[in-house]
Structures are given as C-alpha cells and as structure tokens.
Structure 1
Amino acid sequence: MVLINGYTRFGMVDVPGDLEVPWWIAPHVRDFASLAKSSAVTEAQREAAEVEPALAALTQRLAQTAAVAHVAANVKGSEGFAAGVSATLAADIDEFCGTPPRPKHVNQAGLAVSLIAASLPANDPAKAALVSQAERLQNLRGKLSAAA
C-alpha cells in the first residue's frame, strides 16, 4: 500500500487547522507535544509491509502507461495511441495476473488500477482506460469466484 500511495493522493487526510497529513499520523496531530514524545513515525516505518517486486513494477507501469494517455489526448489523430494505452494496460495486468489468472493477483491488480483511476480527475484521459480495466478485472474476479 505504501507504493500505491506514492502514485495516488490517498496517503493524506485533512485535519483541523487546514492541514494535510499522512493518514497514519492523523490521530497524533491534535496534540503536537504528544507526537513529539512518541515514536509513531519510527513505528509506522518499521511496521510497513514490504511491497512485492511484481506489484511494485505493475503499479509503476500502470502509472507510466496512464501518462501516455495524456499525450494521446493532445495529439491530433491519436486514436492509435489511445488503443495502444488500453492494450498495454491489459497486457501488463494479464502478465501480472498469470495464466490462468490467480485470484490474489487479480485482486491486487484491481486495487492498484482502481486507486490510480480514483486519484485522477473525471475528465482525465487516462481515467477511462483505467476504469475499463477495473471493470474487466471485476468481471474476471466474478468468473474466478464462480468457478471456485
């Protein structure tokens, strides 16, 4: 999750006083003296789960491919770019999920795609491609659970 938060805006929360702080430290912000005396930051770093290298690579590729959609939206006659973005997203996700798709990886990929898409504004060109991949993964997830 730490890696996914690096590519999305879900790592911050609003607290009193017009501040935005990381979600894990929000409970301590009401009392700065108590935060200064605590070891909350050290504990959060120590307890953070290590990210699987394959999931980290997938998340990075999804974010990079989504950036191509921004270029495609601003280039005249870029229908091929848009199709390439969708195909590349699908290929990266399918490679991560495996053949046959493993349910755990389908869930992880779905979460990564959904978090990245949710962090984009509604009119972002990459959002539509990511949402279609999230829908595809949701359908695949349903098929896998029905087969089990």
Structure 2
Amino acid sequence: MLLINGYTRFGRMVEGLGDEEIPWWIAPYVRDFAALAKSSALLDDQHSEPAVESALVSLTRRLAQTAAVAHVAANVRGNEDLIAGIGATMAADIDEYCGTPPRPRHLNQAGLAVSLLAASLAANDPAKLALVAQAERLQKLRGQISATA
C-alpha cells in the first residue's frame, strides 16, 4: 500500500500541464479546460467558507464586481451611459448597506471599504474615479450626520 501511495501520490499533488503540480482531485480536468470551466470542483472543495456572508463582505464584493465593469466600460467606445450607471450602482449598494437615514457605524464601514478598494488601484484606473467619487460622497454624508448630532 505504501508503494501505491508513493507512486500515485494519492491524496497529494500530481503533475499538471507543465512542470506545475495540482491537487489530485482536479487532475482529470486539466487536459480539458472547458470541462474544468463547467465544473464546480473548486467551489465544492471550499469547506471553510461561511454559509452566510456578512453584509459588509457582501457590500465589498459587490463594489469590487461593479468596479470591474468600469474596466470594460473604459475600453469600449460609446459607453458613457454604462460609466454613469457604475456610479449609480455603487451609490445604490452603499445606500442599501447604510440604511435610511444612514447609520453612522455603517457609513464609516462603507467609507473604509470604498477607500481601501480605491487605494488598491492605480491612479489611472477607471474604477478608481468611481470609487473616489463614492468616498467623497460618503465623507460629505458623514459630515452632515456629525453636524446634526
């Protein structure tokens, strides 16, 4: 049995397409990229992911996905409406998270999430403009809430 496990390396890594090694359970898919793309093998293996994600994690994920659309919009001509929609979508997601009227704690969390996403992008990144605009809007809302309190 030891010889078989040593030879097949069952339970460990196997040779992939080149000199890289991959988990044994994904090896049957390596030669067929379309089958791998259609499968849910990687998703099924994620046992550590919580069943329900927190609202802040969900907001951050949606903001990152919307920011990715800004990359597409910047590279396609005639998409001024799409670019405007990116900012509106981000604002709607943030407003949904913060509530009406905005709760100060949620406003601060959303501002931090937006700022960190924006800070991780290059200065000429098209998504950075939309994120910075949302950060400025949140800063203004935060000032209004503190002025009324």
Task: Give the whole-Å Cα distance in 1 for the aligned partners of 2:77 and 2:135.
Answer: 27
Note the alpha carbon deviations across 1:11-65, whole angstroms, 9 max, x for none: xxxxxxxxxxxxxxxxxxxxxxxxxxxxxxxxxxxxxxxxx71001000000000
Tell me whether 1:90 sits opposite 2:86 in the alignment: no
TM (norm. structure 1) is 0.65
1:127 aligned partner = 128
In the TM superposition, residue 76 of structure 1 has moved relative to its aligned partner by 1.0
TM (norm. structure 2) is 0.64
Aligned to 1:75, the other structure's residue is in SS state: coil
Aligned to 1:121, the other structure's residue is in SS state: coil
Aligned to 1:130, the other structure's residue is in SS state: helix
What does residue range 1-148 of structure 1 map to in structure 2 within 5 Å?
A: 53-148=54-149
Task: Give the whole-Å Cα distance in 2 for the aligned partners of 1:101 and 1:88.
Answer: 17
Aligned to 1:128, the other structure's residue is in SS state: helix
- For structure 1, the 5+ residue unaligned runs are 1-51
In the TM superposition, residue 94 of structure 1 has moved relative to its aligned partner by 0.3
- For structure 2, the 5+ residue unaligned runs are 1-52
Letter in 1 for 2:72: V
In the TM superposition, residue 90 of structure 1 has moved relative to its aligned partner by 0.3
Note the alpha carbon deviations across 1:101-143, whole angstroms, 9 max, x for none: 0000000000000000000000000000000000000000000
- The higher radius of gyration belongs to 2
Identity, in percent, stands at 76
Which segments of structure 1 move beyond 3 Å, counting only runs of 4 or more? Answer: none
